[in-house]
Amino acid sequence: MKQQLFFFLVLLGVGFRSFSQTPQLSEKSQISLLTCAAGDELYYAFGHSAFRVQDPELGIDVVYNYGTFDFNQPNFYLNFVKGRMIYSLSRRSFDNFLFEYELEKRWVKEQIFDLTLEERNQMLAFFEENYLPQNRDYLYDPLLNNCSSITGTILKEQFGETIDFDGSYLEEPYSFRQLVRQFMDTNSWSMFGIDLAFGSRVDRTATVQEHMFLPYYAMIQIRHTSKDGKPLLKRERTILDYNEHTGQSFFPLSPLFWFMLLLVFTGIVTYFDYKHKVRSRWLDFSLFLITGLIGIFLFFLWFATDHTSTPNNFNILWAFPLNAVVAFIFAFEVKLPEWSAKYLYSALGLIGLMLVLWIFRVQIFSPVVIPLLLTLAIRYVYLIRYSKL
């Protein structure tokens, strides 16, 4: 008898690791959404969402986490650049899941769904089917298909039109870019890089459900979601109670500081060039080469990847790919070519077109880019004048 009891306890202890078949939950079972606070790393900057299934009678307390990725995956970084990121559904004990957030002192909140026993078993069967080796991997999209947006997708798939996402709590519907900026400092290298890589597609207004790609919005949305006309949220509680992580910004390390420094430096060099009727070829080479290489990278993101957020990126108007070629011509030619004035007028025109697109909100650009535009404009105007000497 003791051996049988021991064997039964062992089964309960490892039950979260491997279900030989999907168990039938008891009346005491619960299914909930876990929302975890943002962290200090870039990939933690927006928080995290996961599902929890618990049943004290069966000894089950597991977390189904759609936000699992592996840096050691073959071609991980190449797939990241190409927009072919593979994420996986993982399953682990709740205690192990919670340990990471306890260690990093990030709050965790739980929202228990008001579901019938049949519906809870339906969701568990869905998670277990998804967890099969042939099903657990999925093509990740940071805005449209991530660990948080999948919350709304699963609820809709499982319960159809009975689920209603009420968006009346939103002060206004935001664009994807606006939503991302709510969680990152605009004057940070991370946000500048994101703004640089994002195309005009992210400036469309997100639907109510699409707001759920951010875990904090998914949590708020659950409070305003009904099923069959009744609130989906049964109860909400705080599991770990820590203060929100707030990043400390230091202006001398910010992109705006360095771009303003570049603007002042370029202005001074250009003034002395004008006074002495010379051209600092090393400066022209640097500005043209860097902007050209950025433009080539943006062109690649637009046309040669599967990213849904990088096409139609009009940053390419100031970071013009041909500048990378012109950089070498301007660097090694003592006298500017005859066509240089036309090229520079065109480059100025492209910057002007970018500003028009910005004014009419076709694409919202990072305000940090303004000193860069002024830097290029100053140099372009001087080079036009110099080409006529």
Residue range 272-283, pLDDT digits in tens: 999 999 999 999
pLDDT above 80 for 74: no
Distance CA 148, CA 66 (A): 8
Helix, strand or coil, per DSSP, at residue 347:
helix
The answer as to whether 334 is a domain residue is: yes
The answer as to whether 196 is a domain residue is: no
Residue ending a domain, choose from 240, 262, 292: 240
Residue 151 tokens, joined: 């919350």
Same-domain check for residues 262 and 212: no
The answer as to whether 6 is a domain residue is: no
The answer as to whether 178 is a domain residue is: no
Residue 154 tokens, joined: 């699963």
Q: Give the domain extent around 231.
A: 13-170+208-240
Same-domain check for residues 230 and 258: no
Give φ, ψ of 67 to 5 degrees: -105, 30
Averaged pLDDT score across all residues of the chain: 93
Banded model confidence at residue 79, pLDDT cuts 50, 70, 90? confident
Strands of 30-36's sheet in order across = 137-139, 86-93, 60-68, 48-55, 30-36, 108-113, 233-240
Q: 2-11, 14-23, 184-193: which has the minimum mean pLDDT?
A: 2-11
Same-domain check for residues 219 and 288: no
Distance CA 31, CA 119 (A): 10
Burial class (CB in 10 A: 0-12, 13-18, 19+), 119: middle
Residue ending a domain, choose from 216, 240, 264: 240
Same-domain check for residues 61 and 21: yes
Strands (E) in the chain, as ranges, are 30-36, 48-55, 60-68, 86-93, 108-113, 137-139, 163-165, 225-227, 230-231, 233-240
Same-domain check for residues 227 and 311: no
Same-domain check for residues 234 and 270: no
The answer as to whether 184 is a domain residue is: no
**Residue 131 C-beta-side C-alpha neighbours within 13 Å:** 21
The answer as to whether 110 is a domain residue is: yes
Q: Mean of the pLDDT values across residues 16-23? A: 62
Q: Are 47 and 36 in contact (CB under 8 A)?
A: yes
How far are the Cα atoms of 13, 173, 183, 214, 329 from residue 179, in angstroms, in the given order? 42, 9, 7, 8, 42
pLDDT above 90 for 72: no
Helix, strand or coil, per DSSP, at residue 32:
strand
Banded model confidence at residue 19, pLDDT cuts 50, 70, 90? low
The answer as to whether 324 is a domain residue is: yes
The answer as to whether 2 is a domain residue is: no
Same-domain check for residues 232 and 258: no
Sequence letter at residue 323: N
Quote the pLDDT of residue 20: 55
Same-domain check for residues 220 and 294: no
Same-domain check for residues 166 and 77: yes
**What residues contact residue 209 under an 8 Å CB cut-off, 6+ apart?**
149, 152, 156, 165, 221
Quote the pLDDT of residue 82: 86
pLDDT above 70 for 1: no
Same-domain check for residues 23 and 152: yes
Quote the pLDDT of residue 141: 95
Per the structure, the count of domains in the chain is 2
Residue 44 tokens, joined: 């933690």
pLDDT above 50 for 101: yes
Distance CA 361, CA 33 (A): 36
Same-domain check for residues 65 and 100: yes
pLDDT above 90 for 293: yes
Same-domain check for residues 148 and 87: yes
Q: What is the DSSP letter of 175?
A: B
